[in-house]
Amino acid sequence: MDSRFEIEPICKKPKLVKGEDQDSILMIKNLKNEEDSCSGFDLLPRDLLLDVLIRLPISSLIQFRFVNKSCYTLSHDPELPGLHHPVAAKADPMLVFHCDYPIRNQLYFVEYDGDHGGDRVVRKISTPFCGAMPEFNVVGSCNGLLCLSDSLYGEPVYVFNPFTRNYLELPKCRQFQDQEVVFGFGFHPGTNEYKVVRIVYYRTTNRLNRNNRSYPRSEVNVLTIGKPNLNGNESESKDGWRCLGKVPYQLDRQAKEVVVVNGRLHWVSRPGRLGGLPGRTIVSFDLEDEKFKLVSKPVNRSNYHLAVIDDCLASAVSCGYGKLEIWVMKEYDVKESWTKLFNIHGAYLAKVLSHDYRIWRKAVHGKMVRVLCVLKNGEILMEYRGGNLVKYDPKWKEFKDVVFHGMPELFQTVVHVGSLNWTHTPI
């Protein structure tokens, strides 16, 4: 990412600043020491200026910080993050591309406009903790924050705003010798708190058998992200990791997507007897009362994945022969409210790249297509195997490749809202 988008990250531990970080900090110091030019900002009402700023995309808002001292001060108005986020959430989404490059992973982003997407340029996101965690999984995106976990060991875990570059390293949690870990990250509007959920399936040492991939034991840990303490500093967590005991379901460890709707995390269980349930079932975790619950699915099929459409829980069901049905639960946790919004007929032959598809297989468990979101113009944005973006027009029943300048060759797409939010920003 260009240095003009980067400022010194706020973290609990001091760190040396090099390269682009150093240039950005020098820019800030110079702005603070400069005399303001006659920009006219001081003559305009604050409310009017904020009303203009909240309409800017996040990259333009970060650039605005470096115009002069007045702009820098205005862009740090404490009310701006809370005002900007709802406006950004209503626009077409930002797309974050996670590239599983060997040795060191990379993040990129593009601010998507459904009508003029091809004119956009993909830019690199600098991760200030890449030295400590070169290979990672994207646990999820929530209110402008990303949660990332080490792809090899499950730790460390970071909460990160890729534009303000604020980040928080979460405390370590209990590890087992042979384990598989499922994460979740979300926000509950009732408590106004973020939580990270860590579900570990493990075996005791006397039952280790590499040919047997059964993990009979489980443990659920929850961490509430802390709010600023009395000194104004960020605390790591409210109570540290709390153990809730066993998880009653076997979640699909291959499917990485975790959907957050109505203050609940949603996963899909493992198929058949492996999951302890008939077929693949939707399992939710309430971030307020911290209890698991089953959620009805729209049809009795096992080949489906979850998404969010218009802030509602959605299920994309593969019916075979290239047919895909998209269902939406219009009233949460009411089985009768499942409504079929779209029928997509006919397989689309997306461009197939000659790459190793390991990251994509991890993300969607071998599925050919993954529904990402519905754009403002009504088109459906999807990701095909290997990291090919495609949009489908349900009115004309047409497919079209989505290509940006500077797109990486192989990636997993994360739908994101670019904002100034941090863990204590009121939503």
Please check whether residue 285 is in contact with residue 263, taking contact to mean a CB–CB distance below 8 angstroms. Answer: no
Q: Give the pLDDT mean for 97-123.
A: 83
pLDDT at 101 over 90: no
Total number of residues shown for the chain: 427
CA distance 125 to 130: 11
Q: Of 34-43, 227-236, 313-322, 331-340, give the range with the top mean pLDDT.
A: 331-340
Q: Say which DSSP state 272 is in.
A: H
Please check whether residue 340 is in contact with residue 325, taking contact to mean a CB–CB distance below 8 angstroms. Answer: yes
Name the pairing type of β-strands 338-344 and 323-329: antiparallel
Q: Give the type of residue at 315.
A: S
Which of 353, 279, 351, 274 shows the shortest CA–CA distance to 315? Answer: 279
Residues 20-40: tens digit of each pLDDT: 445 444 554 554 454 444 456
Residue bearing tokens 């150093």: 22
In percent, how much of the chain has pLDDT > 90? Answer: 51
pLDDT band at 361 (very low <50, low <70, confident <90, very high): very low
Q: What is the pLDDT of residue 30?
A: 53
Residue bearing tokens 């693949």: 280
CA distance 74 to 225: 27
∠ at Cα 93 (92, 98), nearest 5°? 150
CA distance 45 to 32: 22
Q: Give the pLDDT mean for 294-304.
A: 91
Structure token digits, residue 139: 């646990």
Q: What is the pLDDT of residue 277?
A: 60
In angstroms, the Cα distances linking 278 to 234, 270, 271, 274 are 44, 10, 7, 10
Residues 214-269: tens digit of each pLDDT: 667 889 999 999 654 444 445 445 568 999 999 888 888 776 679 999 999 999 98
CA distance 99 to 83: 32
Which of 98, 95, 125, 93 shows the shortest CA–CA distance to 110? Answer: 95
Number of Cβ within a 10 Å radius of residue 220: 19
Please check whether residue 79 is in contact with residue 50, taking contact to mean a CB–CB distance below 8 angstroms. Answer: yes
Residue bearing tokens 């009411």: 334
pLDDT at 103 over 70: yes
Q: What is the pLDDT of residue 214?
A: 60
Q: SS3 for 49? A: helix
Residues 147-175: tens digit of each pLDDT: 999 988 788 999 999 999 999 999 988 77
pLDDT at 89 over 50: yes
φ, ψ of residue 304 in degrees (nearest 5): -150, 165
CA distance 157 to 349: 37
Residues 178-228: tens digit of each pLDDT: 788 999 999 999 999 999 999 998 876 655 455 445 667 889 999 999 654
Q: Give the type of residue at 359.
A: I
Q: What is the pLDDT of residue 284?
A: 96
In angstroms, the Cα distances linking 128 to 27, 145, 146, 250 are 18, 15, 13, 35
> Phi/psi zone of residue 322: left (φ > 0), alpha (ψ -120 to 50 degrees), beta?
left
pLDDT at 372 over 50: yes
CA distance 255 to 267: 8
φ, ψ of residue 48 in degrees (nearest 5): -65, -40
∠ at Cα 51 (49, 55), nearest 5°? 115
Q: What is the pLDDT of residue 231?
A: 42
Q: Which residue has the higher pLDDT, 315 or 256?
A: 315
| Rg value, the chain, Cα | 22
Residues contacting residue 11 through CB under 8 Å, at least 6 positions apart = 128, 166, 167, 168, 169
Q: SS3 for 182? A: strand
Question: Positive or negative, the Cα torsion across 63, 67, 71, 73?
Answer: positive
Name the pairing type of β-strands 259-261 and 292-295: unpaired
pLDDT band at 345 (very low <50, low <70, confident <90, very high): confident
Cis peptide upstream of residue 14 (ω within 30 degrees of 0) = no
Please check whether residue 261 is in contact with residue 333, taking contact to mean a CB–CB distance below 8 angstroms. Answer: no
φ, ψ of residue 336 in degrees (nearest 5): -70, -15
Judged by average pLDDT, the poorest of 59-63, 222-226, 314-318, 335-339 is 222-226
